Structure 1
Amino acid sequence: MRRVGIVTASDKGFHEKREDRSGEEIRRLIRELGLEVAIWEVVPDEEERIKEVLIRMTDTEGVDLVLTTGGTGLAPRDVTPEATRAVIHREVPGIPEAMRLASLRQTPYGMLSRGVAGLRGKTLIINLPGSPKAVRECLEAVLPVLPHALETMTGEFGDHGESSSKQKS
């Protein structure tokens, strides 16, 4: 079973002044996909703290997918994309492009999201916005490709575009 880490970047959430509804929405959607939430952390909006938890989840905890929520906007303390870019080895630009497109269908504010996605080793990291509604819209846009992405990045993808689970014997 694929293991997922959730990182909520929120000063108020970290100081328990706000409930982490966005992280909860991620957990709900991930469970529907049949994935296991192995670790979930709330960190302050600090680039170094976000980088530390991303590195620990990927390198030490060995999760297959890290989904972050929060810190992708234009506020001075919104630094999740910078932290993510600092730790990934390769970007996957189509994922945030699809999420922004899904958001733009709902609101013009979707163009203000700065979220990124990329690979660190064999872990996919995706930045999601901070509101539960935006998390749902964005994650629903990419959920259909996540199983294929996870198979591909771990080398489980078969020849000629067939996933290992669909290959003919």
Structure 2
Amino acid sequence: MIKIGVITASDKGARGERVDLSGPAIKEMVASIGGEVIAYAIVPDDQILLQAKLKEYADELRVDLIFTTGGTGFSPRDVTPEATLAVVDRLAPGIAEAMRLASLKITPKAMLSRATSGIRGKTLIVNLPGSPKAVKECLEVILTALPHGIEILRGEAQECARP
């Protein structure tokens, strides 16, 4: 099983003014890779609060994978990538690049995504967009590759090469 944490970054969601549809979409889709969401939170668009929740999930709950949703655009309150970059030890740029590349085939606005991805200890952190439709589109691109990355982080797999 892949232990997953989901963090929705949304001022309105945190205040109860908007129903989060992206978090449940993630939960539904990760089942296809043997993932189980064991932690879920809606946090305001606040870098310090986001960083604290990312650290909690990675360091205390020791989840294998954290998906954030929301806060990756150009709004001054969109600080999810900055929170992620502040807590990761190493970057994993190919994941965000793959999502942007696939999303560009759907909409030119995909180039406006500032999503990032990286590794904290043995936890992979991936920023997803805030829209449920975009979350599903992005997860369709990356989900099949993530279990292997998790196996490598856990020390269960050594190489990516095919025989």
Structure 1 residue 100: deviation in Å? Answer: 0.2
Quote the residue 1:36 is aligned against. 36
TM-score (ref. length: structure 1): 0.93
SS of 1:144 mapped into structure 2:
coil
SS of 2:143 mapped into structure 1:
helix
C-alpha separation in 1, matches of 2:158 and 2:8: 34
Radius of gyration: which is bigger?
1
TM-score (ref. length: structure 2): 0.96
Relative distance call for 1:47 and 1:31 in structure 2 (3 A) is same
C-alpha separation in 2, matches of 1:27 and 1:102: 21
Contact map agreement 2:65 2:124 (CA 8 A) in 1: yes
Structure 1 residue 153: deviation in Å? Answer: 1.5
User: Residue type matched to 1:98 in 2?
Assistant: A
SS of 2:144 mapped into structure 1:
helix
5+ long unaligned stretches in structure 1? 163-169
Relative distance call for 1:108 and 1:148 in structure 2 (3 A) is same
SS of 2:76 mapped into structure 1:
coil
Give the ranges of 4+ consecutive aligned residues of structure 1 lying more than 3 Å apart after TM superposition: 158-162
Q: Which moved more, 1:7-16 or 1:27-36?
A: 27-36
Quote the residue 2:106 is aligned against. 106
Contact map agreement 2:33 2:144 (CA 8 A) in 1: no
5+ long unaligned stretches in structure 2? none
User: Residue type matched to 1:110 in 2?
Assistant: A
C-alpha separation in 2, matches of 1:25 and 1:159: 31
Aligned length: 163
Quote the residue 2:59 is aligned against. 59
User: Residue type matched to 1:33 in 2?
Assistant: I
C-alpha separation in 2, matches of 1:51 and 1:160: 31
Quote the residue 2:132 is aligned against. 132
Quote the residue 1:165 is aligned against. none
Within the alignment, does 1:75 sit opposite 2:75 as a pair? yes
Residue-by-residue CA offset, 1:66-118 (whole Å, 9 max, x unaligned): 00000000001000000000000000000000000111010000000000000
Structure 1 residue 129: deviation in Å? Answer: 0.4
Relative distance call for 1:109 and 1:58 in structure 2 (3 A) is same
Structure 1 residue 148: deviation in Å? Answer: 0.6
Structure 1 residue 159: deviation in Å? Answer: 5.4
Within the alignment, does 1:154 sit opposite 2:159 as a pair? no
Structure 1 residue 158: deviation in Å? Answer: 3.7
Structure 1 residue 128: deviation in Å? Answer: 0.2
Using CA pairs below 8 Å that are at least 6 residues apart, which structure has the higher relative contact order?
2
Between the two proteins, what is the percent identity of the paired residues? 53
RMSD over aligned Cα atoms: 1.4
SS of 2:110 mapped into structure 1:
helix
